[in-house]
Structure 1
Amino acid sequence: MNLMTLTDGALATFVVGLVTFVQWWVSERARTRQRDTEMVHWGGEVIDLMAALEARCEFPEFESDAPTYFQLIVKASALIDRGRLFFPNVITKSIATTAKPPAYRGHRVALLDELVRTYLLAKHLADPANGFEPIFKRKMREARRRFVSGLQTEMGRTLRRSSREKAGVSIPADPRKW
């Protein structure tokens, strides 16, 4: 065996290793993009739900085609559990109990707390014995803002960034002042 054959073999092994690494890297990027796409879709549904409940809080007398509180409760409950697929509970020693199914052990992540608030507010408003309070609209808007900010943080570097020159302006709430 001569030196040239050894060098050719080493080069071939290196090339195969490099190609394997590139294939792995491309597949990992595709998997990350798929997860991000699914997370954006889920997040969009959560935002829609929160906006619907916020509108119900702002216009409680408007019933027309608005989703019922029951529909909002069901949707919120399902979105909480779907969110656990992206954000599993945080397990700590103090709550590492086996009394619950594995997906429900520990503390849910803070991002899902905002969705739980949505669920609880919808349940509260669904009960005619509970009174409506104008502060609910503000609380729902704050929960939605925390959710959107938290989701952006979770998605981190995969989000598209906007440059400063694309920044909008503050728009008065009164359309006559536009």
Structure 2
Amino acid sequence: MEELFDLVGVEGVAAIIAVVVSVFALCLSVFNFRAEFRIAWTKEVIGWARQVVSVLTEMEHDFSTACGQSLGVRPSGDRVRGQLARLSTLIDEGRFYFENNSDNDFGRDKPVAFRGYRPKLIDVLVRAYDSYRRALTNNEHDPSDTIRKRKRDFVSHVQEVINPVWFSKKAEFETEKVKVNF
């Protein structure tokens, strides 16, 4: 250590320490930025997913059933078209968060957001949309079971993406930092 002082002097050692501390602070800042970005992105995805689940639940219950038996009540065509428009909008909004897998030539003639294969999370919504749309033209078609299954698939895919375990651990850590006594 004395050799270092002799070589660069006190000012030089202070400068080296300052550089090391600065690099450490920069690394910590980048880590915090990434964590904050992940939290913000996840909040956005959860907000979008809540809207999707709400629409899917409404669509599922549009075809009234009791204990698996149809009550013979069908929504109006206007209602079905409105639900389809809402779900279509949410599907396209989902493309803002989840891009297609375009590692191949599939759909290369399409616009960028539609090239390749849809992620599973978006694909289950398209399948729910298609099933509900069939109800417009086929009076025998009851899409409620299909939509219920697609909704469960969707919720599972969202859960895989947002990783609630990470948030549970983060919340546990944060509450451990602040103890409240009543």
TM-score range normalised by the length of the shorter chain: 0.7 to 0.9
TM-score normalised by L of structure 1: 0.78
1:77-98 deviations in Å (ceiling 9; x for gaps): 111111111110001324162x
Partner of 2:4: none
- Of the candidates 80, 83, 90, which is equivalent to residue 79 of structure 1? 90
CA distance in 2, matches of 1:78, 1:96: 21
User: 1:16-75: CA deviations, max 9, x gaps?
Assistant: 1122222222222111111000000000011001101110123561659xx811111111
TM superposition shift of 1:159: 4.1
- Judged with a 3 Å threshold, the aligned counterparts in structure 2 of structure 1 residues 158 and 58 are, in CA distance, closer, same or farther, namely farther
Counterpart secondary structure, 1:68 = helix
Please list, as runs of the form range in 1=range in 2, the aligned pairs for 1:1-178 lying within 5 A after superposition: 2-59=8-65, 61=73, 68-95=79-106, 97=108, 99-127=109-137, 130-134=138-142, 136-156=143-163, 157-160=165-168
CA RMSD of aligned residues (A): 2.2
Could you tell me whether the CA contact under 8 Å between 1:152 and 1:159 is conserved in 2? no
Seq. identity, %: 22
Q: Is the 8 A contact 2:101 2:116 kept in 1?
A: yes
The size of the alignment, in residue pairs, is: 155
Distance 2:55 2:115 in 1: 26
Uncovered stretches (5+) of structure 1, i.e. residues with no partner: 162-178
Contact persistence 1:80–1:116 (CA under 8 A): yes
Q: d(CA) in 1 for partners of 2:167 and 2:80?
A: 33
Helix, strand or coil: the match of 2:158?
A: helix
Unaligned runs of 5+ in 2: 1-6, 66-71, 170-182
Counterpart CA distance in 2 for 1:96 and 1:131 is 33
